[in-house]
Amino acid sequence: MTSESGPGRAAPRGLEAELAAGLASLEARGLLRALAPPDQAPDLADFLSNDFLGLARHPEVAAAAAAAALEHGAGSRASRLLGGGSPLHAQAEARAARWLACESTLLFPSGYQANLGVLCALAGRGDAILSDALNHASLVDAARLARAQVCVYRHLDLEQLDALLRARRGARRRLVVTESVFSMDGDLAPLAALHELCERHDAWLIVDEAHAAGLLGPEGAGAWAALRRPPEQARRLACRIVTAGKALGAAGAFVAGSEILCRHVVNVARTFMYTTAPPPAVPGALLASLEILREADGARRAVLERARRLAASVGLPPPDAAILPFVLGAEERALEAAAHCRAQGLGVMAVRPPTVPHGTSRLRIAVHAHNSEAECQRLIDALARFPRALPGAAETARRAATLFVVGTDTGVGKTVVSALLLRAARAQGTACYWKPVQTGSENDTETVRRLAEAPAEELLPPLHRFPLPASPHQAAAAAGARIELGALEEALERMRLAHPGACLVVEPAGGLFVPLNDETLFADWLARARPAVALVARSGLGTLNHTLLTLEALRSRGLEPRALFLVGEPHPANCATLRDLTGIEPILELPHLEPLDGESLERWLARHDLSGIFAP
């Protein structure tokens, strides 16, 4: 992206003014990004690229790319289905299938497109996608685009996945989607156990090998290949996505699976059908890099060994691959550390939300075959002045994550549950309560203050108060005002910054589909903020329907409740049905307490463990 700015440029108006305000808000929160021209600092030691084995600049790979371009042209001229591509495309796919020991592969122009294409080809309405909470954005977007029900399970939490698979047994098809090596944390998914769960539940496993391909397994064929499973023990593996722009040093991604699966993808994956085939230089380069990978055991060992030594020297646990997450916590600290490294001639990337969860901003250190011992030592020295957030810090930060108390309706007991949660969160560390929009004459903040026996500093003032007891958009309109999503988002961010490490319990007005203004539902805010969620429902007639409807709406936005509260007359049969149908854990019955005060809440809390709700 190039742009012109300077004294002659007029002040932005209209759309530009709106966009400029958004950019200013990102900047104020330490979240603004800008493109850094890579050639500005050619001498930086590479701890940032995904070119783990240095193949992108390998003379044979570059020469093969150039030869392919000379022979077959710079571009592919059309999509594969319209005759675009070159003979090299099919050759590279056949070569990759041998490498990955599968029947067939299909080369997409990028890993992002491959993930979108495959998930949309395999899942749709009536299906369920179960996705690890730390999956890459391309998988998150793909799951949303597929229109299947999306259930996000806590990172690597097989118990929760098991419960969710059980709960979704009515779905037509269930797909468990995971990275093998996670791109921002560098840890390895337990692929064998995931496959076993899929077998047990008749579900299918999809593995994104972006950061394992080239590095792990025989000939670098990835983490799944490292399991060395015969085909009869891989029956529930639907496919792998093997990106080719990282350790393979080129671009694109192979979808690897059965011959039928690949034919199906050719016929229905829109990101394959309706895009120009990758240029011939890509399969040309890949044919060369796949050849080099066969003989690259030494380089693989060197990278993994170097990553282990580096991790030990900076106090990190032994890594599974070549990515080290040096978690610093706040955005500013990560930016400061990256700038310091840069000043020492070290290229290291600061990674901030939304790429990683709030409070876990970090340096993402990628280790390469071409990193010298001297560079590693310089990096160790540079990092020494930045105390890493302790392992618990990521935990604290996630615990500190915002918890939205979502109701199936208005008047279902959200305020009492919020008071309970505030008390429980306080027992784990600092906590705050926030009612962003208060309508009517009630004062929920005051009720929470009384029930949670909260000191003033735990209670954050509403952003909006409107006297009309109506939905936020109507109450605002009656007061001649309008609720802006951007203003709510900024206020939330300000609260987070002002209360670092605190768990923020947020109680929105009404139920999930309450309009904030004429265009925006509360659910839209949730989908963007992606907070932790506790779901509150009234116990009684209609509970099952309201709860399941709200849950479906949450899950289709990729939000999985950390708890379900059923408020009112206990109803063991409803409780059991919801446990069975939803897989939510825990489901907690909260009867109408008499009297309703701090003491009765405390007695209830003494009998129930809510700490899991705040767990990472």
Ligand X SMILES: Cc1ncc(COP(=O)(O)O)c(C=O)c1O
Interaction site with ligand X (CB under 6 A)? 110-112, 115, 136, 138, 179, 183, 208, 210, 243, 245, 253
Q: Could you tell me the smallest distance in angstroms from the CB atom of residue 111 to ligand X?
A: 2
Comparison of 253 and 296: residue with beta carbon closer to ligand X: 253
Q: How far apart are CB 171 and ligand X at their closest, in Å?
A: 24
The radius of gyration computed from the CA coordinates of the chain, to the nearest angstrom, equals 26
Nearer to ligand X, 179 or 187 (CB): 179
CA distances from 521 to 198, 471, 509, 527, 552 (A): 35, 11, 11, 10, 16
Instruction: Indicate the burial class of 457 (C-beta count within 10 angstroms; 0-12, 13-18, 19 or more).
Output: exposed
179: annotated active-site residue: yes
The nearest distance, CB 239 to ligand X, in angstroms, is 14
Give the active site residue among 183, 361, 471, 574.
183
Beta carbons within 8 Å of 232's beta carbon, 6+ residues apart = none
CB closer to ligand X out of 115 and 402:
115
Cα end-to-end distance, the chain, whole Å:
37
Catalytic residue among 179, 185, 187, 493: 179
Report the nearest approach of ligand X to the CB of residue 559 (Å): 21
The active-site residue out of 136, 201, 368, 499 is: 136
Q: Quick check: is 609 catalytic?
A: no
Instruction: Tell me the closest approach of the beta carbon of residue 253 to ligand X, in angstroms.
Output: 5
Q: Any catalytic annotation for residue 136?
A: yes
- We find the least distance from the C-beta atom of residue 241 to ligand X, in angstroms, to be 7
Nearest to 221 by CA among 290, 318, 137, 302: 290
Q: Which is nearer to ligand X, 136 or 398 (CB)?
A: 136
Of 264, 214, 205, nearest to 243 by C-alpha is: 214
Q: Please state, in angstroms and rounded to a whole number, the distance separating the CA atoms of residues 129 and 171.
A: 10
Known catalytic membership, residue 443: no
CA nearest to 32, candidates 425, 406, 394, 335: 335
Is residue 435 annotated as a catalytic residue, yes or no? no
- List 72, 155, 195, 211, catalytic entry: 211
- The rounded distance, in Å, linking the Cα atoms of 537 and 546 is 8
CB of 110 to ligand X, least distance (A): 3
- Residue whose tokens read 């309405």: 125
Catalytic residue among 127, 208, 209, 219: 208
Catalytic residue among 89, 246, 435, 473: 246
Reported residue count of the chain is 616
| Active-site residue flag, 76 | no
Residue nearest to ligand X (CB): 111
Q: Which long-range contacts (CB under 8 A, 24 or more apart) does 231-237 make?
A: 233/195, 234/195, 235/199, 236/195, 236/198, 236/199, 236/203, 236/204, 236/205, 237/195, 237/204, 237/205, 237/207
Nearest to ligand X of 85, 117 (CB atom): 117
Question: Pick from 221, 128, 226: which is nearest to 177 by CA?
Answer: 128
Active site (annotated) includes residue 183: yes
Residue among 243 and 471 whose Cβ is closer to ligand X: 243
Nearer to ligand X, 201 or 246 (CB): 246
User: How is 5-43 classified by DSSP, letter by letter?
Assistant: -STTSPPP-HHHHHHHHHHHHHHHTT----PPPGGG-TT
Give catalytic residues, as residue numbers.
50, 136, 179, 183, 208, 211, 246
